[in-house]
Amino acid sequence: AQSVTQLGSHVSVSEGALVLLRCNYSSSVPPYLFWYVQYPNQGLQLLLKYTSAATLVKGINGFEAEFKKSETSFHLTKPSAHMSDAAEYFCAVSDGPNAGNMLTFGGGTRLMVKP
Amino acid sequence: NAGVTQTPKFQVLKTGQSMTLQCAQDMNHNSMYWYRQDPGMGLRLIYYSASEGTTDKGEVPNGYNVSRLNKREFSLRLESAAPSQTSVYFCASSQRGLAGTDTQYFGPGTRLTVL
């Protein structure tokens, strides 16, 4: 069984500061990992995904994440927060296409950006 | 392209009432999914359809039924609504490509309240 843990249900940063959202996973198969963002009253949008190619993955809006197998982590970072980054962020792990491409989500981290 | 559309956007039901949530996608995707989102729990998979004509249970299927009407449409039915089904429901679709690289595309959600 696979699972995802996101440390910190709420993270607050100042505008211009580093954003770090933590995600740890467990999976019995090589994982495929995703970060999604949800803006208020909207559906989820894909930020980036790791599919066993480069361990440092760049996504939209200046976000990136690094896959660290030894730490079973896939933390999301952005060098400089912008007010428009305020949203809820979800880390997810997939069991891959041969098992139905099921996504298991973490509980989410709400990012608040202070002026 | 409209992407993934869901109707209705909001719904209030009384305990014991039934209703069907509709979902359609215009991306010619093979797979479709229904999730529910509850605070602090991320998204949990209710049912999914890997391809037209097939449906399978996800993590939390009790109290729900689904129909994959055709390749475009995937509906979720609550036969006898309960307050525990108060949630935000998201439909998603994916192409089911190779190597687990599927991106799931989400609809805007249906906010359901059961009194």
Mean pLDDT of chain B: 91
pLDDT at A58 over 60: yes
Max Cα–Cα distance, chain A, nearest Å: 46
Q: Do β-strands B4-7 and B56-57 pair in parallel, antiparallel, or remain unpaired?
A: unpaired
Contact A32 B96 (CB under 8 A): no
pLDDT band at residue A113 using 50, 70 and 90 as cut-offs: very high
Q: B67 falls in which pLDDT band (50, 70, 90)?
A: very high
- Per-residue H/E/C for chain A: CCEEECCCCEEEEECCCCEEECCEEECCCCCEEEEEEECCCCCEEEEEEECCCCCEEECHHHCEEEEECCCCEEEEEECCCCHHHCEEEEEEEECCHHHCCCEEECCCEEEEEEC
Helices in chain B by DSSP H: which ranges? none
Cβ atoms of A16 and A114 closer than 8 Å: no
For B18-48, the pLDDT digits (tens) are 999 999 999 999 889 999 999 888 899 999 9
Candidate from A16-30, A40-54, A60-74, A76-90 with smallest mean pLDDT: A40-54
- Nearest chain B Cα distance for residue A48, angstroms: 9
- The answer on pLDDT for B99 being more than 50 is no
Higher pLDDT, A95 or B77: B77
Q: Which of A41, A43, A104 minimises the CB distance to B106? A: A43
Give the mutation candidate from A27, A41, A89, A103 for the B interface (greatest B CB count, under 10 A): A103
